């Protein structure tokens, strides 16, 4: 299969590109390297020493004999080049990771809010419009998020995979309808993903595009079998207050002895998946495409759920590092339960990596190994959801 991996230089995209290449697919990465530029803007670097994209691709060729292509292209800004690329390459599928993906970054300023919506919504629309204009039957696999559903909307009922059956009252009695699950985004970033959903629904209905939207939970871990072959292939590991996600942040904080930064009571329950399972899920989605004329196929890409304070307690027990309950910079429910349907990937053959197996390996192989690269002034989350929610400096150690 010929596959374009949009956003293939990023945390999820790079290991997915290697995984698909290893399986024998003809892979090309399309990326504008904006994530590396945001590191410069935030004056922070991946905890792991990631190499430039050209070196990554050269090393992969040396070790595997397989060539991965690279096109430096902005999906939101360079529509014509993207359409020409589709016509020239004639891919069987695109895997779309190419968006601004951090909730705190999306809330840090008006500029960041506008950038996140412009970049993500325009980029996704350009991908879909470009496929229609090319006249080719190109499958789309998009990385969406569990956060489109919001937290606690449907009480204790499991969150379904994308769609909800509802009863609509009419004068002639109730009729049943299947609707896209109502969205309840908790940040401008999550809002951009809910807007993506409508674009997919429209292009499926109007143009019969074949689209799978993966509603992924928080990805943890760093390495896959391919990225760990050579240090020059190492995957990105974000730990800073804007881009670091909760479990990877706690792993790094535990390694350097920094109090674990629990927001509020830590009663927030979230869904998680290891990066090794992310790449496998994308493979399964590519291998099990919807047919033309089908509605958007939505799969919940999660393997376990945890409460933030339970994760902190687990790492505190493992490493002896204390837990700090900081004022929550976000507007979110202080406590929520989360029950997620995730049958489809298990039925397709996913054999998940659970926290109980992967956690110590992460602490040892990544967090402890690269702890000297950490900049402790970048740990506390400083982006706030509304003015006035800033954490007082004396509550921060760094």
Strands (E), the chain: 2-6, 26-31, 69-72, 93-96, 139-145, 163-170, 173-180, 211-216, 218-220, 260-263, 269-274, 297-301, 304-307, 323-326
**Which 179-238 residues touch ligand NAD, going by CB under 6 A?**
216, 218-219, 236
Q: Closest separation between CB of residue 359 and ligand NAD, Å?
A: 16
What's the Cα-to-Cα distance from 77 to each of 25, 83, 131, 367, rounded to whole Å?
A: 28, 12, 16, 36
Bridge partners (DSSP) listed for residue 143: 214
Q: Which stretch binds ligand USQ (CB under 6 A): 170-178, 229-237, 255-263, 364-372?
A: 255-263
Q: How far apart are CA 217 and CA 276, in angstroms?
A: 13
Nearer to ligand USQ, 103 or 234 (CB): 103
The label of the residue with tokens 């109007």 reads 206
Candidate ranges 18-26, 93-101, 311-319, 359-367; the one touching ligand NAD (CB under 6 A): 93-101
Closest distance of CB 300 from ligand NAD, Å: 11
**From ligand NAD, ligand USQ, none, which one binds at residue 11 (CB under 5 to 8 Å depending on kind)?**
ligand NAD
**Which residues are identified as catalytic?**
145, 189, 193
Phi then psi for residue 365, to 5 deg, are -80, -30
SS3 at position 76? coil
Q: Choose, by CB under 6 A, the member of 99, 161, 240, 277 that binds ligand NAD.
A: 99
Secondary structure string (H, E, C) spanning 335-391: ECCCCECCHHHHHHCCCCCCHHHHHHHHHHHHHHCCHHHCCHHHCCCCCCCCCCCCC
How far apart CA 279 and CA 258 sit, in angstroms, is 31
Tell the smallest beta-carbon distance from residue 243 to ligand USQ (Å).
Answer: 7
Q: Which tokens is 127 given?
A: 């991908």
Decide if residue 94 touches ligand NAD (CB under 6 A): no
Q: Nearest-5° angle of CA 240, CA 241, CA 247? A: 75
Binding segment (CB under 6 A) for ligand USQ, from list 2-10, 95-103, 197-205, 370-378:
95-103
* Member of 60, 70, 79, 97 binding ligand NAD (CB under 6 A): 97
Of residues 43-82, those binding ligand NAD (CB under 6 A)? 74-76
46, interface contact from ligand USQ, ligand NAD, none, CB < 5-8 Å by kind? none
Give me the residues that bind ligand NAD (CB under 6 A), please: 7, 9-13, 31-35, 74-76, 97-101, 119, 123, 143, 145, 216, 218-219, 236, 245
The residues that touch ligand USQ, with contacts defined as CB under 6 A, are 101-103, 145-147, 217-218, 245-246, 249, 261-263, 266, 268, 270-271, 308, 328, 330, 332, 381
């Amino acid at each position: 299969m010929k596959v374009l991996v949009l956003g293939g230089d990023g945390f999820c995209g790079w290991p997915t590109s290697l995984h698909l290449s290893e399986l024998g697919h003809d892979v090309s990465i399309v990326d504008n390297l904006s994530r590396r530029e945001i590191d410069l803007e935030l004056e922070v670097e991946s905890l792991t020493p990631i190499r430039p994209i050209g070196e990554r691709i050269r090393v992969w060729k040396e070790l595997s004999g397989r060539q991965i292509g690279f096109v430096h292209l902005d999906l939101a800004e360079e529509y014509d080049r993207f359409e020409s690329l589709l016509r020239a390459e004639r891919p069987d599928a695109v895997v779309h990771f190419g968006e601004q993906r951090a909730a705190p970054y999306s809330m840090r300023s008006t500029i960041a809010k506008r950038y996140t919506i412009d970049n993500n919504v325009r980029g996704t629309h350009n991908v879909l419009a470009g496929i229609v204009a090319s006249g080719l039957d190109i499958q789309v696999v998009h990385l969406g998020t569990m956060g489109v559903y919001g937290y606690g909307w449907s009480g204790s009922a499991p969150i379904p995979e994308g769609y909800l059956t509802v009863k609509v009252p009419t004068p002639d009695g109730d009729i049943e309808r299947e609707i896209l699950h109502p969205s309840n985004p908790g940040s401008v970033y999550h809002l951009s993903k809910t807007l993506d959903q409508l674009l997919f629904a429209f292009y499926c209905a109007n143009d019969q595009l074949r689209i799978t939207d993966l509603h992924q939970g928080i990805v943890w871990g760093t390495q896959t079998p391919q990225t760990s072959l050579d240090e020059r292939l190492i995957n990105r590991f974000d730990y800073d207050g804007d881009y670091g996600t909760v479990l990877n942040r706690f792993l790094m904080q535990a390694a350097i002895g920094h109090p674990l930064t629990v927001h509020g009571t830590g009663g927030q329950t979230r869904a998680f998946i290891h990066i090794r399972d992310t790449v496998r899920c994308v493979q399964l989605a590519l291998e099990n495409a919807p047919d033309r004329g089908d509605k958007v196929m939505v799969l919940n890409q999660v393997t376990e759920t945890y409460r933030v304070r339970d994760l902190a307690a687990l790492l505190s027990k493992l490493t002896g590092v204390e837990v700090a309950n900081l004022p929550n910079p976000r507007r979110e429910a202080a406590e929520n339960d989360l029950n997620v349907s995730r049958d489809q990937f298990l039925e397709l053959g996913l054999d998940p990596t659970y926290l109980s197996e992967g956690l110590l390996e992460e602490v040892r192989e990544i967090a402890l190994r690269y702890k000297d690269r950490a900049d402790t002034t970048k740990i506390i989350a400083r982006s706030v959801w509304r003015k006035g929610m800033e954490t007082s400096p004396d509550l921060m150690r760094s």
